[in-house]
Amino acid sequence: MNQNPTDVKEILALEESANALEITPEQRQDMNGEMEQVANQFLDQLSTTKAYRSSRPDKAVFRISDEQMSIQKILDTVSNHVFPHGINAASGGHLGYIPGGGLYASAIADYLASVSNVYAGMYYASPGAVEIEEACLNWLKECFEFPENSIGNLTSGGSIANLIALTAARDAKRVMERPVSEAALYMTEQVHHCIHKALRIIGLENVIIRIVDMNDRGMMDLPQLRSLITNDERNGKNPFLVIASAGTTDMGAIDPLKKLATIAKKHDMWFHVDAAYGGFFKLLPEYQGAFSGIEQADSLVIDPHKGLFLPYGIGAVLVKDRNAVFKSHHYTANYMQDATSGDVPVSPADVSPELTKHFRALRMWLPLKLHGIAPFQAALKEKILLTHYFREQLKNLGFQLGPRPDLSVSYFWYPRAQKQDAFNQQLLKNCHQDGRIFLSSTRVDGKFVIRIAILSFRTHKATIDQAIAMLQEQLKKIIN
């Protein structure tokens, strides 16, 4: 090892070079101006920008090298090579998958969260940030009638939220203490695929997965569920988990939550509800009945980047059994001793795989404080009515419709005596080429169907009229 005294001159020279990373107040002002211009242009043109473009960028423009670029050029690269390709997820015309829009108020929050670099994983590091996350979770507990002492976390999205919940179910029911292949769980084929991923990640890919039938509205069949559980019990298996959906991704169906909760309780099983897509519709007084029983769930997932219209990157999980969550996520290490000593509230890092955490809660808290709850409720109710309006217009054009949805996801197809799937596939392809409105597709009972998901706060009646006009035009082109 070199024992020479440290070269202070070198330290100072390096400091001078590294200082390029610290932006001066003047540079900051310029950068903010440039950034605002790009953001404003993006938003101002949104109503006339296509919702989908199938083009791809030239990846060479993103290459990182030692070369420096002005902020203007860098932002131009984003404007010209990122924004114009693929799905325009901020557009109200995005009616595919699960849209949301992306509230501007959250962008302000993200900006401040990054500028301050608040460390939101530990109470000790930022009591304020953790209290804000707690305030968001407490509001969710009130919305979903969860007890005050349940625990929660704001995650990156529904997938990680489901992962946390299913891990808690595994640990609370001590699944790993018996042969995993004896454990049994119950769900419909409509659960989101992130549930299957989570099961694989947490070592439960070999449990018995019972796929329960559904009725024609996509809801879990209760008699079949009861008989599957009883049969498994009789055969010495270990039924430990029922997974319900409150708003399936394909059909927007809400499983019969109240009855499922009763069944789960009777058989001493964990009851998980994935309400990532549908959950926030419970903010509407007229939906209290449909969601009845959700308060009895042992764990619940709700995605603010869906039904609260926040930009992508925020999901939420609530779990009643705190210890089950701590079992896999609570950890102490020598280098964390300052953070864990004393009587401090639970830290997000004890409830999630994440340790270092971006101040994610600010992007949920700030819009709720700024706008209040009423505009969210109005937007959600508008989405339900728009879904019915869309379906009526589709019917007038000769389309056939899936069952009347509980929420704002539905599907349709154009009936043909022959090659119906190919016809509808071509229709969707044409719509993608048109791009004014983005629709996605799915399969129901093996049949190709076009799917609508109305959940962006920017989707309004004019958007639906535009979608109908696009479908009518493209239909004409194929038929003629």
Residues that bind ligand PLP (CB under 6 A): 98, 157-159, 162, 192, 194, 245, 249, 274, 276-277, 303, 315
Name the minimum Å distance from CB 155 to ligand PLP. Answer: 8
Nearer to ligand PLP, 100 or 239 (CB): 100
Nearer to ligand PLP, 88 or 238 (CB): 88
Q: Give the C-alpha separation, 457 to 443, whole Å.
A: 27
Work out the burial of residue 272: count CB atoms within 10 Å of its CB; fewer than 13 is exposed, 13-18 middle, 19 or more buried: buried
Residues in the chain: 480
Name the minimum Å distance from CB 247 to ligand PLP. Answer: 6
Q: Give the C-alpha separation, 412 to 403, whole Å.
A: 9
Name the minimum Å distance from CB 159 to ligand PLP. Answer: 3
Name the minimum Å distance from CB 161 to ligand PLP. Answer: 8
Q: Give the C-alpha separation, 467 to 464, whole Å.
A: 5
Q: Give the C-alpha separation, 323 to 351, whole Å.
A: 10
Name the minimum Å distance from CB 417 to ligand PLP. Answer: 34
Alpha helices, H only, 322-409:
322-329, 337-340, 362-371, 374-396
Name the minimum Å distance from CB 426 to ligand PLP. Answer: 26
Nearer to ligand PLP, 126 or 249 (CB): 249
Nearer to ligand PLP, 154 or 204 (CB): 154
Nearer to ligand PLP, 250 or 295 (CB): 250
Nearer to ligand PLP, 122 or 450 (CB): 450
Nearer to ligand PLP, 317 or 366 (CB): 317
Q: Which residue has the tokens 């708003």?
A: 247
Q: Give the C-alpha separation, 69 to 63, whole Å.
A: 12
Name the minimum Å distance from CB 184 to ligand PLP. Answer: 22
Give the strand order in the sheet containing 183-188: 151-155, 315-319, 299-302, 270-275, 238-245, 183-188, 208-212
Nearer to ligand PLP, 98 or 261 (CB): 98
Work out the burial of residue 192: count CB atoms within 10 Å of its CB; fewer than 13 is exposed, 13-18 middle, 19 or more buried: buried
Q: Give the C-alpha separation, 103 to 95, whole Å.
A: 17
Nearer to ligand PLP, 315 or 348 (CB): 315
Q: Which of 152, 47, 127, 132 is nearest to 339 (CA)?
A: 127
Name the minimum Å distance from CB 362 to ligand PLP. Answer: 19
Q: Give the C-alpha separation, 413 to 183, whole Å.
A: 40
Q: Give the C-alpha separation, 443 to 441, whole Å.
A: 7
Q: Which residue has the tokens 């595994």?
A: 170
Name the minimum Å distance from CB 304 to ligand PLP. Answer: 10
